[in-house]
């Protein structure tokens, strides 16, 4: 994990809508060069958190720090200059062309050379041949591409993406994922709100599981290790059940047998080589030994079940 | 005017150019407002074969009108025609604005319904800039239409009315109505409509409440036509000063009423 100071930090953000608690004491540090995935069920407060991070709505209590300095109502404008927000819906003006949509935003962000910035965005996102088309004529994938172009038009260092691949076909979704990877290499801080855990797996350097409050926050690997331990899968030539019993009698408590394979959490006294030696000495024919990695979905569901705290 | 207001205005106008149908009510209202004085002052006497100045209904008014310095040279019939043209001037000025009211009332809530408001609010645009662009986006086309119709009224009066009648439309009183009080009243009405738009729960509510804003303007028109008030230069200027104050207050109120959080989280 990067050791640099966070570019944006949320400190104990709480948000009430009327009497309903939407977000409860959420603290997140966002660093340049990382992709932080915010996952959680519907109504968990992901979009509200994203809006607070974007300076769109104020927290009921708690605050944001931008480059180490607290963000006030007055300095929220500075925050908005540094943030690119992709909203859940592309939010394009349908009767305006792609170019007019982007040009309006280039001018709203006060870019010194708006026409050049729009030109560069059209080129980068492969929209040049559709520049004159009305937004209403675009497919959903293209609309999302225009929205992404708009999000990055002012070269923000903090990029907040709300469900960026929702409803897109696989090809368009892959394009968006490639873009997010690219953003990470451009030294930006990226936050992705999504339900797509496969996407999180592919993109995120850190993940936060939110259900009103942050239930867990860490790298995917660390969450796996914390919730499931460091498991190894040993595939044998033959029934694995008798050897599970041998391992248990040897002091390894977390052993699961499934057909010809064993899923084992080596303990401090018995590392993986010792484990393999025990099996071989017991007469097992070991075919393979590989890390047994639970899916992020397993991790997510375990966290929501109350199995893992921050 | 800031660059951001200009950017939003350019967007508003580009949107209007792609959707010229929204101008139809304003154009129709203007045409009616333009045709009415000609119908009453020029067509009706031709059809009935009677002079308006012979009617007792207009006698007092025409004598009063003839006493004004800039119309005393008119003959009785021309004085009555000038009086009618002047009285319909208010309708002509506020007609396009009244018709633009629904566009203004829809302006903010329309953005929300199209889901274009959230990315817009994520930019550094200030609330006052957003509201100014919304008001001007409705006001400037209405003003342009008003001035065009006023030009047509002048040309028509010079062509079809009695000689010298068009000069009554170029008096300080008329010009104050067309170029000062009218636009200020229009601006105030459209600001109110945008305020309503930023607080209403849905587009229908915004448009219905926006329509109510036309009532004071209609009241003014009725009062003027019925002779309850006479819009002299000094009264017009006094009203204009009041309208300037009202416009400043409405701008402040609009910014105070525009709750970013509410428009993002409560409207559906």
Q: Give the closest residue to A189 by CA, choosing from A4, A37, A30.
A: A30
Residues of B in contact with A83 (CB under 8 A): 122
DSSP class of residue A68 equals T
**Nearest-neighbour CA in chain B from A160: distance (Å):** 11
Which residues have C-beta within 8 Å of that of residue B209, sequence separation ≥ 6?
A: B105, B196, B200
Cα gap B98→B220, rounded to integer Å: 13
For B:125-154, CB contacts with A below 8 A are 125-126
What tens digit of pLDDT does each residue of B142-184 get? Answer: 889 889 999 999 999 999 988 888 888 888 888 888 888 888 8
SS3 state at A251:
coil
Q: Please, what sign has the CA dihedral across residues B76, B79, B83, B84?
A: positive
To test the contact with chain B by mutation, choose from A54, A60, A75, A104 the residue with the greatest count of B C-beta atoms within 10 A, namely: A104
Q: Report whether pLDDT(B266) > 80.
A: no
- With CA atoms as reference, the chain A residue closest to B121 would be A56
Among the partner residues B115, B117, B123, nearest to A105 by beta-carbon distance = B123
Contact B139/B190 with Cβ under 8 angstroms?
Answer: yes
Token pair for A262: 């064993």
Contact (CB<8Å) A109/B265: no
Buried b (16+ CB within 10 A) or exposed e, B244-258: eebbeebbeebbebb
Region of B180 (left: φ > 0; alpha: ψ -120 to 50; beta: rest) is alpha
Q: Report whether pLDDT(A85) > 90.
A: yes
Q: pLDDT category, A108, cuts 50, 70, 90? A: very high
Q: Report whether pLDDT(B51) > 90.
A: no
Over chain A, what is the mean pLDDT?
89
Q: How many domains does chain B have?
A: 1
Residue A16: CB atoms within 10 A of its CB come to 13
Q: What is the ipTM of this complex?
A: 0.82
Q: Which domain holds residue B75?
A: 3-266
**Nearest-neighbour CA in chain A from B261: distance (Å):** 5
Residue B56: CB atoms within 10 A of its CB come to 6
Q: What pTM does this model have?
A: 0.82
Determine what percent of chain A falls in helix, strand and coil, rounding each to the nearest 5. Answer: 35, 25, 35
Q: Give the closest residue to B195 by CA, choosing from B140, B122, B132.
A: B132
Percent of chain B clearing pLDDT 90 (strictly above): 21
SS3 state at A55:
coil
Q: Give the closest residue to B98 by CA, choosing from B145, B39, B38.
A: B145
């Amino acid at each position: 994990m990067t050791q640099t100071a966070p570019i944006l930090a949320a400190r104990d953000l709480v948000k009430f809508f009327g009497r309903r608690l939407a977000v409860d004491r959420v603290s997140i540090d966002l660093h340049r060069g990382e992709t932080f995935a915010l996952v959680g069920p519907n109504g968990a407060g992901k979009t509200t958190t994203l809006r607070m991070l974007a300076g769109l709505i104020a927290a009921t209590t708690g605050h944001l720090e931008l480059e180490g300095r607290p963000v006030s109502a007055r300095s929220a404008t500075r925050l908005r200059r540094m943030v690119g927000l992709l909203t859940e819906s592309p939010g394009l003006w349908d009767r305006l062309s792609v170019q007019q949509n982007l040009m309006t935003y280039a001018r709203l962000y006060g870019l010194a050379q708006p026409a050049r910035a729009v030109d560069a965005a059209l080129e980068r996102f492969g929209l040049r041949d559709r520049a004159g088309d009305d937004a209403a004529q675009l497919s959903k994938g293209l609309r999302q591409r225009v929205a992404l172009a708009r999000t990055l038009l002012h070269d923000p260092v903090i990029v907040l993406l709300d469900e960026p691949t929702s409803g897109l076909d696989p090809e368009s979704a892959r394009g968006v994922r490639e873009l997010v990877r690219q953003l990470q290499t451009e030294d930006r801080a990226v936050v992705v709100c999504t339900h797509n855990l496969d996407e999180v797996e592919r993109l995120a350097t850190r993940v936060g599981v939110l259900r009103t409050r942050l239930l867990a926050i860490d790298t995917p690997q660390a969450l796996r290790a914390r919730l499931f331990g460091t498991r190894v899968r040993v595939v044998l030539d033959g029934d694995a059940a008798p050897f599970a019993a041998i391992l248990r009698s040897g002091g390894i408590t977390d052993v699961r047998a499934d057909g010809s394979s064993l899923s084992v959490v080596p303990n401090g006294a018995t590392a993986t080589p010792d484990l393999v030696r025990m099996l071989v000495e017991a007469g097992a024919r070991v075919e393979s030994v590989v890390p047994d990695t639970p899916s992020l979905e397993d991790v997510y569901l375990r966290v929501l079940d109350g199995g893992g705290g921050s | 005017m800031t660059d951001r207001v200009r950017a939003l205005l350019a967007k508003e106008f580009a949107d209007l150019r792609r959707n010229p149908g929204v101008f139809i009510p304003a154009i129709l209202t203007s045409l009616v407002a333009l045709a009415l004085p000609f119908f009453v002052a020029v067509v009706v006497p031709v059809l009935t074969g009677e002079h308006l100045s012979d009617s007792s209904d207009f006698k007092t008014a025409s004598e009063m009108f003839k006493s004004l310095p800039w119309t005393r040279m008119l003959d009785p019939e021309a004085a009555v025609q000038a009086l009618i043209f002047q009285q319909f001037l208010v309708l002509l000025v506020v007609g396009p604005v009244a018709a633009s009211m629904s566009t203004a009332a829809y302006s903010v809530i329309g953005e929300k319904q199209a889901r274009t408001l959230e990315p817009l609010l994520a930019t550094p645009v200030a609330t006052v800039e957003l509201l100014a662009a919304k008001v001007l986006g409705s006001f400037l086309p209405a003003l342009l239409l008003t001035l065009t119709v006023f030009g047509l009224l002048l040309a028509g009066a010079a062509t079809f009315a009695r000689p010298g009648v068009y000069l009554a439309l170029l008096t300080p009183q008329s010009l104050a109505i067309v170029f000062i009080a009218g636009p200020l009243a229009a601006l105030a009405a459209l600001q109110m409509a945008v305020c309503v738009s930023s607080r209403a729960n849905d587009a229908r509510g915004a448009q219905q409440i926006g329509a109510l804003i036309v009532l004071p303007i209609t009241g003014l028109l009725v009062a003027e036509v019925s002779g309850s008030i006479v819009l002299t230069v000094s009264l017009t200027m006094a009203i204009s000063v009041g309208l300037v104050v009202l416009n400043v207050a409405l701008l402040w109120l609009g910014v105070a009423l525009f709750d970013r959080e509410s428009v993002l989280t409560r409207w559906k």
